[in-house]
Amino acid sequence: MEHIKTIWDFFQNEVLSMAWLNRWIGSVLDGFGVDISSRIGGSIQFFLYDVIKIMVLLASLIFIISYIQSYFPPERTKKILGRFHGIGANIIAALLGTVTPFCSCSSIPLFIGFTSAGLPLGVTFSFLISSPMVDLGSLVLLMSIFGWKVAVVYVIVGLIIAVLGGTLIEKLHLEHQIEDYIKNGRAIDLPQEQLQVKDRLKYAAQQVWATAKKVAPYVLIGVMIGAVIHNWIPQDFVVSVLGNENPFGVVLATVCGVPMYADIFGTIPIAEALLAKGAMLGVVLSFMMAVTTLSLPSMIMLHKAVKPKLLLIFIAICTIGIIIVGYLFNVFQSVLL
């Protein structure tokens, strides 16, 4: 058992977290006369290390996930979802959301397509919640920073929110809250050609380039914010606002996350820096969930597809779920970290 733990610790630290990269960057900066123990030097090291680490992991994960996605085009996903009913359909929709787009704005067109195709409303909302909040990429990236316990629990609770949220919306019978142009739309049933392995590899490579270009600005911004938090904001301030001394830290983090627009790749460096400064685990994860699921631009897009009542119910369900999960993570922080 001790050997397994040693192997896992090496994989966690040197492969996922790329601790060797951080040491190497520190040595290079030191060679150029940069004092990495200073605020400026520490900020430079944090920025270079996190940008390179996230982009390398990002490219690797997108390639793998996109290859998997090539087996689940929208039409095939619709047919899979159509075979299930009840809460089983919500569970399958939430699981399928883990191998689809990385941000909420990319998920909404698929949500519209599924709704137009006549899939149950609760099923499509389970997909809409799960897709940006939980994906295979988030599992690996969270594991690289917070460890496997936090990563696995994060994914599980994200799926639970997606399933329960979709089920509740289904029980409320809100089909009349969908805009008429979507209800009257017709999905185009195109036959899916049989892709060869080389076609799937080409598709995966194209997705790496397209997604990397799209998320790179948010990664850079997120890492810059993380570097500032990590090296310039006093720890006492972070602890007083987002630590266990503030019982409303989870609520504050959730509310602050909503107006932002980023994906999990851009929010992780901010969460990493906040946690290192003494913020509670549930606070930083609530912030990440709010940013990825309830960003203002995605809510504006969703408003074009659903009426105000359904939009507000969706926001309320997600917000309450995120806040509850945040407090649960705070309670069990000592066990998970």
| Residue owning tokens 């399928």 | 96
pLDDT value of residue 300: 78
Q: How far apart are CA 137 and CA 265, in angstroms?
A: 9
- Taking only the tens of pLDDT, the chain with its 337 residues reads 677 778 877 887 888 788 899 999 999 999 999 999 998 999 999 999 988 988 888 788 778 877 877 776 666 667 777 777 788 888 988 888 777 655 555 677 777 777 777 788 888 899 888 887 776 767 777 888 788 888 888 888 889 999 999 999 999 988 888 877 666 654 444 444 567 888 888 888 887 888 778 778 878 888 888 888 888 888 887 878 888 778 888 998 888 877 666 666 778 888 888 888 888 999 988 888 888 788 776 787 788 788 889 989 988 988 998 899 899 999 999 888 7
Q: Which DSSP symbol is given to 190?
A: P
Residue for token pair 């799937």: 200
Q: What is the pLDDT of residue 163?
A: 93
Place of tokens 């901010």: 270
Distance of CA 304 to the CA centre of its chain: 23
Whole-angstrom distance, CA of residue 124 vs CA of residue 42: 45
Residues 6+ away with beta carbon under 8 Å from 153: 329, 336
Question: First-to-last CA distance in the chain?
Answer: 20
Q: Residue 189: left if φ>0, alpha if ψ -120 to 50, beta else—which one? A: beta
Give the up-direction half-sphere exposure of residue 15: CA atoms within 13 A in the CB hemisphere.
10
DSSP string, 256-281: HHTT----HHHHHHHHHHHHHTT--H
Contacts of 286 (CB under 8 A, 6+ apart): 250, 253, 254, 257, 322, 323, 325, 326, 329
* pLDDT of amino acid 194: 66
Q: Say which DSSP state 278 is in.
A: T
Say how far apart CA 132 and CA 244 lie, in whole Å: 28
